[in-house]
């Protein structure tokens, strides 16, 4: 999936994190009975399989190619190879007719989501120049209903893409599944930091760490503010000055910013980078209340600069101990959609927009212009003081995306597509965007709230409902979309 998150202010200033490549298992096949009957057919189909392999490599995938299979015995050997490879997704390429007995063991034994594709050589046959052998290269779709039927009877989720080798539409649909597999990989192998404690009373934010690992894989690392404190204490004056210089390069500084507050935020930022490095974190959620200006309160209040810089690099950080939203931000960033921490701020019924955003960490690369640092003597609802990030998300299509949790503990993906539109914004050191979801903002708020979403989520660039739906499918979680008013 193309990454459409960029910002001139960040070019060359921040080094993006390098993610683990998506590991894709591939097996291609056809019915071996055809090979002696139609000389040249197998070579043609192998050529198609090679082209498909190269396309996946061009997507940046680590391809584990189990080869071309012609019978159930070869399918069994391919299934064992792919089982050992521990892939994020397995793609089965139906090059011509084959029996479902050649596909089923691959889906059963790999314990990995399977995508079935059939891509004929061209958009249509040249009927006048097509004999039986040439026609068989075009009938990869022939076994597709057979495979789908057997998957259903075997309790295996079925997903497929049909098209031709040079079909842009088919490859776009395939790319969506590959991006979703990247999300599955990020969640299976992710290390998610959780530092501090729950904001008192935010019952919706409370998340069972065991369920994160059991449903998605990965690991939740429990951290303490002292893990950050010792690293901030080790920051040198030179390192702090370097981080201040970076802040001045990335942000526009409002006159309200005090030098001592900027210096402290810079020191916390450097220490936060070390924390992420030392614990090999892919995401972080944090909150600490503190009291009367003591060190832990100062650490909690000094997080916004460093957390925003990390988020822009692809290591999302969410405030208020919001683990589900930091995971949603990681999912969005893996899809190339950014993902900035947000909540409801106000409804504008005159203009028909929902105003949403948040104080605290933000995805700087999504800003419509250079993000602003504003000095704040008070963080509303929190203790401490320092600097806040202020900007409007780039105007155009966006998707609100968050993770809900059901009574039985099941996580769900919840989305709504809209447009960020221009207009007056708050100037209080918060991110704020005006989002038009296409219907009454009050009705949108009611419909959105009824899904089981918490009071935090992430705003992403582009209309991404289909991308999140594919990711939900591979992760095995329910998917809900708000695209109109509810029933009442």
User: Pick from 187, 221, 254: which residue ends a domain?
Assistant: 187
Higher pLDDT, 435 or 432: 435
Q: How far apart are CA 42 and CA 95, in angstroms?
A: 10
pLDDT of residue 488: 58
For residue 124, give the CATH number of its domain: 3.40.50.10940
Which one, of 347, 328, 351, lies nearest residue 441 by Cα? 347
Question: What is the pLDDT at residue 376?
Answer: 79
* Secondary structure (DSSP) of 138-181: T-TTTTHHHHHHHHHHTT----EEEEETT-HHHHHHHHHHHHHH
Same domain, yes or no: 291 and 422: yes
Residues 319 and 284 in one domain: yes
Residue 262 inside a domain? The answer is yes
Q: What is the mean pLDDT of the chain?
A: 93
Confidence of residue 6 (pLDDT cuts 50, 70, 90): low
User: In this structure, is residue 107 part of a structural domain?
Assistant: yes
> Looking at the domain assignment, is residue 487 inside a domain?
no
Q: Is residue 2 part of a domain?
A: no
* Dihedral angle, C-alpha 411, 175, 8, 185, nearest 10 °: 40
- How many structural domains are present in the chain? 2
Residue 272 belongs to a domain: yes
Cα dist from 376 to 48, 227, 257, 345, whole Å: 61, 26, 8, 18
**Are 79 and 14 a contacting pair, CB within 8 Å?**
no
Spatial neighbors of 321 by CB under 8 A, at least 6 apart, are 194, 196, 197, 198, 199, 202, 205, 285, 286, 287
- Rounded Cα gap, residues 212 and 60, in angstroms: 27
Same domain, 202 and 177: no
CA dist., res. 129 & res. 221, Å (int): 63
pLDDT in tens, 47-101: 999 999 999 999 999 999 999 999 999 999 999 999 999 999 999 999 999 999 9
User: Would you say the C-alpha torsion 28, 32, 33, 38 has a positive or negative sign?
Assistant: positive
* Residues 33 and 46 placed together within one structural domain of the fold: yes
DSSP letter string, 103-122:
THHHHHHH-S-EEEEEEESS
Q: Are residues 321 and 360 in the same domain?
A: yes
pLDDT reading at 484 higher than 90: no
User: Quick one: pLDDT at residue 362?
Assistant: 85
- Please give the residue range of the domain that contains residue 237: 190-481
Work out the pLDDT band at 292, boundaries 50, 70, 90. Answer: confident
Query: Same domain for 319 and 375?
Result: yes
Which residue did the predictor score with more confidence, 367 or 419? 419
pLDDT score for 2: 45
Distance CA 347, CA 359 (A): 17
Residues 30 and 170 in one domain: yes
My answer on whether 311 and 194 are in the same domain is yes
126 lies in the same domain as 262? no
Q: DSSP label at 19?
A: P
The reported pLDDT for the residue numbered 388 is 87
CATH number at residue 343: 3.20.14
- β partners of residue 390: 372
SS3 breakdown of the chain: % helix, strand, coil, rounded to 5?
Answer: 40, 25, 35
Lowest mean pLDDT among 175-184, 301-310, 358-367: 358-367
Residue 103 placed within a domain: yes
In-domain check, residue 422? yes
Contact 5, 461 (CB under 8 A): yes
Look at residue 8 in the predicted model and tell me its pLDDT: 46
182 & 262 share domain: no
Q: Is residue 117 pLDDT above 90, yes or no?
A: yes
Compute the average pLDDT of residues 293-310: 93
Across the range 343-367, mean pLDDT stands at: 91
> Confidence band (pLDDT; 50, 70, 90) for 320?
very high
Of 159, 187, 215, the last residue of a domain is: 187
Angle between the N-to-C axes of helices 465-475 and 168-189, in degrees from 0 to 180, rounded to the nearest 10? 50
- Average pLDDT value for residue range 172-198: 97
Instruction: Mark whether 157 and 202 lie in a shared domain.
Output: no
Strands (E), 350-441: 353-358, 372-376, 386-390, 396-405, 411-420, 431-436
pLDDT value at 430 more than 90 = no
- Whether 96 and 231 map to the same domain: the answer is no
Among the three residues 187, 214, 240, which one is the final residue of a domain in this structure?
Answer: 187
The region of weakest confidence among 158-167, 194-203, 290-299, 450-459 is 290-299
Assign 391 a pLDDT band (cuts: 50, 70, 90).
confident
Contact 287, 326 (CB under 8 A): no
Whether the pLDDT of residue 167 is over 80: the answer is yes
Which has the closest alpha carbon to 389: 413, 364, 368, 408?
A: 364
For range 251-259, the mean pLDDT: 92
According to the model, what pLDDT value does residue 258 have?
Answer: 94
User: Quick check: 65 and 78 in contact, CB under 8 A?
Assistant: no
Residues constituting the chain: 488
Cβ distance 108 to 85 under 8 Å?
Answer: no
Instruction: Please name which of 305, 328, 303, 272 lies closest in space to residue 382, comparing C-alpha atoms.
Output: 303
Let me know if residue 486 belongs to a domain. Answer: no
> Scanning the structure block, which residue is given the tokens 């026609």?
135
Whether residue 5 is predicted with pLDDT greater than 90 in this model: the reply is no
Q: Is residue 310 pLDDT above 90, yes or no?
A: yes
Task: Give the per-residue pLDDT at 7.
Answer: 52
Task: Say which DSSP state 409 is in.
Answer: S
Tally of CB atoms within 10 A around 54: 11
Q: Give the model's pLDDT for residue 421.
A: 96
């Amino acid at each position: 999936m193309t990454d459409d998150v960029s910002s001139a202010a960040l070019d060359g200033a921040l080094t993006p994190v390098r993610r683990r490549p998506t590991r894709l298992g591939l097996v291609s096949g056809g019915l071996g009975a055809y090979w002696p009957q139609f000389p040249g057919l197998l070579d043609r189909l192998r050529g198609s399989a090679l082209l498909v392999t190269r396309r996946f490599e061009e997507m940046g995938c680590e391809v584990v190619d189990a080869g071309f299979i012609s019978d159930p015995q070869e399918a069994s050997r391919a299934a064992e190879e792919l089982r050992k490879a521990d892939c994020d997704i397995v793609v089965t390429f139906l090059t011509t007719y084959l029996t479902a007995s050649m596909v089923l063991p691959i889906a059963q034994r790999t314990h990995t989501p399977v995508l079935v594709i059939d891509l004929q050589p061209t958009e249509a046959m040249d009927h006048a120049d097509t004999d039986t052998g040439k026609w068989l290269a075009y009938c990869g779709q022939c076994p597709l209903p057979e495979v789908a039927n057997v998957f259903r009877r075997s309790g295996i989720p079925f997903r497929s893409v049909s098209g031709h080798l040079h079909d842009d539409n088919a490859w776009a649909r395939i790319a969506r599944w590959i991006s979703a597999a990247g999300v599955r990989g990020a969640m299976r192998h992710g290390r998610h930091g959780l530092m501090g404690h729950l904001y008192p009373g935010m019952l919706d934010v409370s998340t069972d760490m065991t369920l994160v690992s059991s449903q998605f894989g990965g690991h939740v690392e429990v951290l303490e503010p002292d893990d950050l404190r010792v690293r901030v204490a080790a920051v040198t004056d030179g390192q702090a000055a370097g981080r201040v210089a970076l802040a001045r390069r990335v942000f526009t500084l409002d006159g309200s910013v005090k030098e001592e507050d900027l210096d402290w935020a810079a020191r916390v930022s450097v220490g936060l980078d070390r924390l992420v490095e030392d614990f090999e974190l892919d995401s972080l959620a944090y909150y600490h209340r503190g009291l009367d200006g003591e060190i832990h309160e100062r650490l909690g209040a000094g997080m916004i600069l460093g957390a925003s810089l990390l988020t822009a690099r692809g290591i999302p950080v969410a405030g208020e101990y919001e683990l589900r939203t930091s995971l949603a931000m990681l999912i969005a960033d893996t899809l190339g959609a950014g993902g900035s921490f947000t909540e409801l701020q106000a409804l504008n019924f005159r203009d028909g927009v929902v105003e949403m955003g948040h104080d605290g960490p933000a995805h700087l690369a999504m800003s419509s212009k250079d993000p602003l640092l504003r000095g704040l003597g008070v963080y509303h609802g929190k203790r401490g003081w320092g600097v806040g990030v202020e900007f409007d998300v780039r105007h155009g299509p966006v998707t609100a995306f968050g993770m809900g949790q059901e009574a039985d503990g099941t996580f769900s993906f919840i989305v709504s597509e809209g447009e960020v539109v221009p207009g007056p914004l708050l100037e209080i050191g918060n991110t704020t965007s005006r989002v038009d979801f296409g219907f009454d903002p009050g009705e949108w708020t009611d419909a959105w709230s009824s899904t089981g979403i918490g009071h935090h989520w992430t705003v992403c660039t582009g209309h991404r409902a289909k991308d999140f739906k594919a990711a939900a499918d591979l992760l095995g979680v329910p998917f809900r979309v708000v695209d109109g008013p509810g029933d009442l």
